[in-house]
Amino acid sequence: MTFLFYIFAAFALIGGIGVVVYRNPVSSAFSMILSFLGLAALFIQLNAYLVGVLQILVYAGAIMVLFLFIIMLINVEDEEKRRFPFFSFLGAGGIAVAFIALLAVVLKRFAPGEATIPKLTALEGPGTSDTHQVGELLFSTYWFPIQIVAILLLVATVGVVVLSKKELK
Amino acid sequence: MELTLNHFLFVSGILFAIGLSGVLLRRNLIVIFMCLELMLAAANLTLVAFSRFNLQDGQPDYDGHVLLFFIITVAAAEVAVGLAIIVALFRNRETTDVTKINSMKF
């Protein structure tokens, strides 16, 4: 368990670092896929099977394909050679290190964080999977938010079509 | 060593910090946008971890999963609109370098 956690956490973090350090956007996109796969594995380790699969399908699948498509569509090559200016490197690295240090201090004093993974009670029979449970919640307790999300997707679709027109009026 | 909640929160925080440094460091608009997505995904891990450690009747707290479902949907919509804006910008300015996009009106 612990061993797998470290492996997949390393996947996620190395992928994340790859996104930042690769100069070629295509390499960035591929290391992002690696990062998302590691994250999905961590979700599955936390018994969130539906969410893990969604992470792979939507993030690593649909969203990253969209990114790659746009990268191919507008060719970005000329900025590969330029080096990062020293001060922006210092600023970005400093802020990231400060953030992690702050987080370490906070988590050290966060008593509930010491809890180990609690055991689940095993359920048998149909209707006990997490997909079923989440689906039931979505269409009973959360029926109104899901309508809002439906409208949001519609608005996004229309917005993309309008934005992609040749002439914006 | 047993896995604790802090392990997951820390990984999530580091991933968030990596995304943040990418947003500050990179000059390419598309890569900045990818780093934003990375920060969003890092926050997802926190949600799943809290839902798993807060048991309801011996099962994970599925409310967290529902919230995650909504976040993924909103992220998909956001990526579609954001990339459309980047393409529109590229059509006008022929660049995705944020240092070259420095006028308010064009």
Encode pLDDT of B60-77 as tens digits: 889 999 999 999 999 999
With a CB cutoff of 8 Å and minimum separation 6, the contacts of B7 are: A5, A9
- Residue A114 sits at the chain B interface (C-beta within 8 Å): yes
Residue B31 has pLDDT above 70, yes or no: yes
| Proportion of chain B above pLDDT 70, given as a percent | 98
Q: Could you tell me the CATH number of the domain that includes residue B71?
A: 1.10.287.3510
Residue A82, pLDDT above cutoff 80: no
If one counts the domains in chain B, the total is 1
Q: Which residue of A has its CA nearest to B38?
A: A16
CA gap A147, A138 in Å, rounded:
10
Look at residue A77 in the predicted model and tell me its pLDDT. 61
Q: Which residue has the tokens 């966060």?
A: A110
Q: Which residues of B touch A93 (CB under 8 A)?
A: 21, 25
pLDDT of residue A88: 80
For B57, which residue in chain A has the nearest alpha carbon? A121
Assess contact for A19 and B31: CB atoms under 8 A. yes
Residue B44 located in a structural domain? yes
Domain that holds residue B32: 5-93
Lowest mean pLDDT among A83-97, A131-145, B28-42, B59-73: A83-97
Flag whether pLDDT at A166 surpasses 60: yes
Q: Is B43 on the interface with A (CB under 8 A)?
A: no
Q: What percent of chain A has pLDDT over 90?
A: 54
What is residue A76's predicted lDDT score, i.e. its pLDDT?
A: 65
Test A121 with B13 for CB contact under 8 angstroms: no
- In angstroms, what CA-CA distances link A75 with A19, A68, A164, A165? 18, 11, 17, 20
Query: Which position has the higher pLDDT, A124 or B74?
Result: B74
Residue B106 lies in a domain: no
**pLDDT band at residue A81 under the 50/70/90 scheme:** low
- Report the distance separating Cα A142 and Cα A75, nearest Å: 42
Interface A-B: count of C-beta contacts within 8 A: 240
Interface of A with B in 40-79 (CB under 8 A): 42-43, 46-48, 50-51, 54-55, 58-59, 62-63, 66-67, 70-71, 73-74, 76, 79
Look at residue B104 and tell me if it is in a domain: no
Q: A111 CB near a chain B CB, below 8 Å?
A: no
How large a percentage of chain A has pLDDT more than 70? 92
B104 interface with A at CB cutoff 8 Å: no
Residue whose token pair is 């802020």: A95
Among A9, A31, A8, residue whose Cα is nearest residue B34 = A31
Q: Does A125 have pLDDT greater than 80?
A: no
User: For the segment B80-98, what is each residue's pLDDT rounded down to a tens digit?
Assistant: 999 999 988 888 888 888 8
Chain A closest CA to B5's CA: distance in Å?
5
CATH hierarchy code of domain A2-123: 1.20.120.1200
Average pLDDT, chain A: 87
* Shortest alpha-carbon distance between residue B54 and chain A (Å): 8
Interface test mutation site (partner A, options B16, B18, B47, B61, max chain A beta carbons within 10 A): B18
A120 near B CB under 8 A: yes
Q: How far is CA B11 from the centre of its chain?
A: 14
Report DSSP letters for B38-106, one per residue.
Answer: HHHHHHHHHHHHHHHHS-BTTB--HHHHHHHHHHHHHHHHHHHHHHHHHHHHHHHHS--BTTT---S--
CB A48 within 8 A of CB B65: yes
Measured between CA atoms, how close is B56 to chain A, in angstroms?
Answer: 10
